[in-house]
Amino acid sequence: MMKLKLKNISNLDSFFDVVNKCDGAVEMNLPEGGSVNLKSKLSQYFSMATVFSNGKIDEIDLTTHNSKDSERLVHYMVQGC
């Protein structure tokens, strides 16, 4: 399990494309505790409608359960979002 903090994501479609390509669960850690599985389509729609309503993500705390998924998300951030 690896915790990641991603910042300044402006293209939500490409972000969720990367999340969907992950093999394991990708969880968004909620400030009040708990988490939401971002690989779930329902969670993605909910997140886009409420949490990311301004069209970008300033900062997001994620937990991945697969090292390749962590690498994929870090690579996405390095390449530009």
In the chain, where the domains are located: 2-79
CA angle 77, 55, 63 (to 5 degrees): 45
Task: Indicate if the pLDDT at residue 66 is higher than 70.
Answer: yes
DSSP string covering the chain: -EEEEEEEE--HHHHHHHHHH-SS-EEEEPTTS-EEETTSHHHHHHIIIIITTTSSEEEEEEEESSHHHHHHHHHHHHH--
Q: Which residue has the tokens 């530009």?
A: 80
- Across the range 15-25, mean pLDDT stands at 94
Could you tell me the pTM of the whole model?
Answer: 0.83
The pLDDT of residue 41: 82
pLDDT digits (tens, 9 = 90+) for 21-57: 999 999 999 888 889 899 988 777 777 666 666 677 8
CATH homologous superfamily, domain 2-79: HPr-like (3.30.1340.10)
